[in-house]
Copies of this chain bind each other. A is one copy, B any other.
Amino acid sequence: MKAMIIEGYGGAELLKMSILPVPQPGPGELLVKVHACGVNPVDYKIRQGLLPLGLTFPIILGYDISGVVESIGPGVESFVPGDEVFYSPELTTPGGYAEYHVVSEAIVSLKPDGLSHAEAASIPLAASTAWQALFDRACIEAGDVVLIHGAAGGVGSMAVQLANWAGCEVFATASTSNREYVEELGADVVIDYTSANFVEVVREETGGQGVDMVLDTVGGDVLARSFETLAPHGCVVSIAPENLQGASMEALRAAFFKNAELHCLFVERRRDTLDALARLLERRFIEPLVEEILPLDKVANAHGRLETMHGRGKIVLRIVEE
């Protein structure tokens, strides 16, 4: 099968097309014909060697897959060949920059009705992260006030839609050029982080009460200052273990007198999360946000864009023409 691989850590120029044997499904596993594969920041972070995952070369990146079950291994209970599925491969296993992919059925869900493979491949990683942050960790409810950092990004844009669906009042930070986009996603108050201090804006707009939950997609100083925006018993969920060196734990002082919580989230691949998202996608409560579709051999372009731009929506690789 065709696959884009890397044989060492470094720049996007290391990505190269290769021919590899089609993998075979073991017990509890599916062989999936990959139709589309989403590209995420974690792809270039692994390519650069920034994550200590203990992988061996050649590495196939790509952690958002939509495709069709080609065959099943022994003991598979939930899927048959021909099923259209979507999922996020574990980071410790081969990814989806390839024509075929083997995955444990435990982390796979049926592709939402009405979505193309490209649309479905934009969902699993970012939307599961947003879902688990909002609902599994922060347990947000209708009427809660939430603040979402980096609201135009992959996780942030899904979080804004999900929090809006849940009936929350949504504060969101974004750059000037993404203000309108984030408003259209459902944010009630968009804070332009290039010109405004989000701590002050939240204080003013909530009459000093603060927000019930902050989703931090940035880390470092943004994480540290987020505690100042919390209401009593509020919580920060962070998905960004970056830029922490320079930030002092002194920032936590504000959290004590508020009985606040910090949840450090590393998304878990779970079928139940995907099942929930599929229902909302089918009912159009949330929308896939595909910005660009590229062929597999142009994946280096996608990496370049993710590394250098304040992007909106997702870039998806099309492996099979629909």
Q: Is the beta-carbon distance between B264 and A261 smaller than 8 angstroms?
A: yes
Q: Is A204 among interface residues, defined by CB-CB distance under 8 A? A: no
* A261 partner residues in chain B, CB cutoff 8 A: 137, 261-264
Count of chain copies: 2
Q: How large is the interface on A (under 10, 10 to 19, 20 to 34, 35 or more residues)?
A: 20 to 34
**Is A223's CB within 8 Å of the partner chain B?**
yes
Q: Mark A19-58, 1 if CB is under 8 A from B, else 0.
A: 0000000000000000000000000000000000000000
**What is the CB-to-nearest-CB distance from A125 to chain B, in angstroms, rounded to a whole number?**
15
Q: Mark A235-268, 1 if CB is under 8 A from B, else 0.
A: 0001001001111111111011111111111101
Interface residues of A in 191-234 (CB under 8 A from B): 220, 223-224
Residues of B within 8 A of A268 (CB): 259
* A75 CB, min distance to chain B CBs, angstroms: 26
| Nearest B-chain residue to A265, judged by Cβ | B259
Residues in chain B near residue A253, CB distance under 8 A: 241, 244
A256 and B252 contact, CB distance less than 8 A: no
Closest residue to A245 on the B side, CB-wise?
B250
Neighbour of A264 across the interface among B223, B238, B241, B255, CB < 8 A: B255
Give, as a whole number of angstroms, the nearest-CB distance from A36 to chain B.
28
Name the contact of A248 in the complex, choosing from B249, B255, B256 (C-beta under 8 A).
B249
Minimum CB–CB distance from A39 to chain B (whole Å) comes to 22
**B-contacting residues, A72-104, CB 8 Å:** none
A266 engages B262 (CB within 8 Å): no
Which residues of chain B are near A263, meaning CB under 8 Å?
259-261
Complex interface: chain B residues within 8 A of A257 (CB): 241, 266
Q: Whole-angstrom distance from the CB of A66 to the nearest CB of chain B? A: 26
CB distance B249 to A264 under 8 Å? no
Indicate if the CB atoms of A248 and B250 lie closer than 8 Å. Answer: no
Q: Chain B residues with Cβ under 8 A from A223's Cβ?
A: 249
Q: Which residues of B are found within 8 Å of A252, using beta-carbon distances?
A: 238, 241, 244, 262, 264
CB distance from A53 to the nearest CB of B (A): 10
Minimum CB distance partner of A239 in chain B: B256
Given contacts A223-B249, A244-B252, contact A262 B262 (CB under 8 A): yes
Q: Are B244 and A250 in touch, CB under 8 angstroms? A: yes
* CB pair A244 B255 closer than 8 Å: no
Considering the complex, which residues of chain A in the window 10-25 have a beta carbon less than 8 Å from any beta carbon of chain B?
none
Determine the chain B residues whose CB is within 8 A of the CB of A250 once the complex forms: 244-245
Extra inter-chain contacts (10) besides given A223-B249, A255-B264, CB under 8 Å: A241-B252, A244-B248, A244-B250, A244-B253, A248-B248, A252-B264, A256-B265, A258-B266, A261-B261, A261-B262
Binding site for B on A (CB under 8 A): 137, 220, 223-224, 238, 241, 244-253, 255-266, 268
Please name 5 pairs of A and B residues whose Cβ atoms are closer than 8 Å in the assembled complex, sorted by A. Answer: A224-B249, A241-B257, A252-B262, A256-B266, A259-B266
